[in-house]
Chain A
């Protein structure tokens, strides 16, 4: 019993949970910044720069504006952070899951909206007009990427369901098992448009360059974060970094799943697989976040909405239809 509790605590606090996902997220954010710099022929900040930013913000004064709702203002980033850590616990790393069998894709879909909602709530609580503009934009962004995201998950679920004879399965464990048995889902060509659509959903979900309408620092002073300073701001920055890890991890799990590496010892297996998993996540980050960031400028809100509901939704729908036809 005590052993069970200890292992659960280890899961929550260290390995797929709190420490691991924070470190992985900040590392991915650092790789992203460095790679953007290299693509623009700059030297760029050190890869550990997001760690420094986070630690510095922990040491800054926290100012609470006069007309802010104090409790909500301070609680909002924590709510977003906790929901992200919970999501990290539910995503399988190749064969390994901290809490297997309890999670399906729908839970993750809901958990992933909470950080965006926490930004909206925090922005609204800060009582700044810039935050007001920012949260309206954040809502538009949410509506834009949620629709294709749901269709992508539906296509994956239907594909695995058809192959395993269950009709449709939303269980992440079943999707992982299926990929271990018969290869990664990216090799099924009906799902390639869905994978492309997912690559386009990731930058909007994490709020990176062409799709960062909500935090546009040059037009609306970083939108919902305008009044935040010190530790809560650091927590929001950490949330963005972890979101980067969670989204790329979800992509890896859905499309690049498999048995992973096996050397015999279970702990060593998990460690090697985690490193391999992080490497794939970093590659996905460079392809879908960094590359797009380095070559594009920020879109208008309407353009963003139109892009997601036509191109990205079209790709996802194409994949869903192909899957439904049994291809």
Chain B
């Protein structure tokens, strides 16, 4: 019963950690817009965490620049299981307008398994919420697959 309760709670309390991997700040603002009174993602239990150790969902924005690549990988390794990685915006998926630039080392999929991709430049808050809700369900599935 305890395990069932934990599994059900996992989907209801996803904490977000946000990494900017060379983003232009557009997607970052859209992510914050999701937490404002108009969209209020906190009604689903979403909360911005201050450190990767507290995170359940890691949101990555930006095309993964040469400077941010190592830090990104190191930060992602610090997130405890179960975790879900969301790529937000077109940049981490394809490089967007920065594609082919000398400092671009993307896409993000080269370095880590991406669970949910939200495309758009920048994505609409509705799309961000839909992606995060999907991530929360994935989180629950991952938790159920865990042994203890």
State how many angstroms separate the Cβ of B55 from the closest Cβ of chain A. Answer: 9
Residue B116 CB within 8 A of the other chain: no
Q: Per-residue CB proximity of A216-227 to B under 8 Å, as 1/0?
A: 111001100111
One of A42, A46, A221 near B51 (C-beta < 8 A): A221
Contact indicator A40/B37 (Cβ below 8 Å): yes
- Known A-B contacts A52-B9, A59-B143, A62-B80; the reply to A44 vs B53 at CB < 8 A is no
Residue A133 CB within 8 A of the other chain: no
Residue B81 CB within 8 A of the other chain: yes
Q: Per-residue CB proximity of A32-63 to B under 8 Å, as 1/0?
A: 01000100111111100101111110111111
Q: Per-residue CB proximity of B11-40 to A under 8 Å, as 1/0?
A: 011000000000000000000000001001
State how many angstroms separate the Cβ of A107 from the closest Cβ of chain B. Answer: 34
Q: Per-residue CB proximity of B81-94 to A under 8 Å, as 1/0?
A: 11000000000000
State how many angstroms separate the Cβ of A257 from the closest Cβ of chain B. Answer: 36
Residue B48 CB within 8 A of the other chain: yes
One of A41, A43, A54, A229 near B54 (C-beta < 8 A): A229
Contact indicator B42/A37 (Cβ below 8 Å): yes
Contact indicator B6/A59 (Cβ below 8 Å): yes
Bound Cα distance A226, B143 (Å): 23
Q: What chain A residues lie within 8 Å of B82 (beta carbons)?
A: 60-61
State how many angstroms separate the Cβ of B129 from the closest Cβ of chain A. Answer: 13
One of B7, B40, B51, B54 near A37 (C-beta < 8 A): B40
Contact indicator B80/A42 (Cβ below 8 Å): no
Contact indicator A42/B45 (Cβ below 8 Å): no
Q: What chain B residues lie within 8 Å of A56 (beta carbons)?
A: 6, 9-10, 12-13, 56
Contact indicator A44/B56 (Cβ below 8 Å): no
Contact indicator A59/B7 (Cβ below 8 Å): yes
Bound Cα distance A233, B7 (Å): 18
Bound Cα distance A59, B7 (Å): 8
Interface size on B, residues (CB 8 A): 28
State how many angstroms separate the Cβ of A286 from the closest Cβ of chain B. Answer: 18
State how many angstroms separate the Cβ of A185 from the closest Cβ of chain B. Answer: 38
Contact indicator B13/A217 (Cβ below 8 Å): no
Bound Cα distance A56, B146 (Å): 13
Q: What chain A residues lie within 8 Å of B97 (beta carbons)?
A: none
State how many angstroms separate the Cβ of A125 from the closest Cβ of chain B. Answer: 15
Bound Cα distance A230, B15 (Å): 12
State how many angstroms separate the Cβ of B130 from the closest Cβ of chain A. Answer: 17
Q: Which residue of B lies closest to A58 (CB)?
A: B6
Bound Cα distance A109, B82 (Å): 40
Q: What chain A residues lie within 8 Å of B45 (beta carbons)?
A: 45-46, 49, 52-53
Residue A18 CB within 8 A of the other chain: no
Residue A228 CB within 8 A of the other chain: yes
Bound Cα distance A185, B135 (Å): 52
Residue B49 CB within 8 A of the other chain: yes
Contact indicator A61/B43 (Cβ below 8 Å): no
Contact indicator A60/B80 (Cβ below 8 Å): yes
Contact indicator A42/B42 (Cβ below 8 Å): yes
Q: What chain B residues lie within 8 Å of A42 (beta carbons)?
A: 37, 40, 42-43
A–B complex contacts, Cβ < 8 Å, 7 sampled: A44-B42, A52-B45, A53-B45, A56-B13, A60-B56, A130-B51, A229-B53
Add 15 more A-B contacts to A60-B81, A222-B51 (CB < 8 A): A42-B43, A43-B43, A45-B42, A46-B12, A49-B45, A52-B9, A56-B12, A59-B7, A60-B56, A62-B80, A63-B53, A217-B48, A218-B50, A222-B50, A230-B80
Chain A residues with a Cβ under 8 A of chain B = 33, 37, 40-46, 49, 51-56, 58-63, 130, 216-218, 221-222, 225-230, 233
